[in-house]
Amino acid sequence: MAYASRNRDALRDAGLNYDALAALHDPLAVGVKIVEAACGAISDGTIEDAEDREIVAEVVAWIIQQPGGVQPDEAVRKTIEQIIARTVLTEVSASIYDKAVPFDRRRALEQSILDTAAELAAQARLTSTGATAQEIGKAIEDGIRDLGRIYKVKS
């Protein structure tokens, strides 16, 4: 990860400043800033609603858990994955709870959706020098559409 290796040029290219990040003295705050920079194209660069905060928390937790750190592209793909998965899980959950599906089957379905969202995010076509807002938006829309079709989401 550019921050962990103190790669000021890579951070600057991502719209970040190493000294400003280091001055935060909080790994979680640093992670949030990195995720905001990675997915600023998704919103206006702020994290205002609960769902966005949950996605950021998931991505930041994932970043912190990676032993060798992550590249910005990986953080963007993880963010795409989380958005796809949460959107589809929200839609699917209503139908499986209405049908009284047993807990173990619900859990298996949830894991299947998470795994498929990860694969769709991994296959998303993103520019290697930094994903554009259009690419991120298309990856999210395509992923939600494709996963929705697989799991017969009606929305």
What single string gives the DSSP state of each residue in 100-151? T--HHHHHHHHHHHHHHHHHHHHH----TT---HHHHHHHHHHHHHHHHHHT
> What count of residues does the chain have?
155
- Is residue 52 one of the residues assigned to a domain? yes
- Is residue 81 one of the residues assigned to a domain? yes
pTM across the whole model:
0.72
- Alpha-carbon distance 17 to 8, whole Å? 7
Res. 2: pLDDT tops 60: no
- Alpha-carbon distance 64 to 91, whole Å? 29
- Is residue 3 one of the residues assigned to a domain? no
- Is residue 155 one of the residues assigned to a domain? no
- Is residue 92 one of the residues assigned to a domain? yes
Domain count, the chain: 1
Checking phi first, is residue 66 left (phi over 0); if not, alpha (psi -120 to 50) or beta?
beta
- Is residue 56 one of the residues assigned to a domain? yes
Domain assignment of residue 131, given as a range: 8-150
- Alpha-carbon distance 70 to 133, whole Å? 20
- Is residue 142 one of the residues assigned to a domain? yes
- Is residue 44 one of the residues assigned to a domain? yes
pLDDT in tens, 29-56: 777 777 777 655 445 544 456 777 788 8
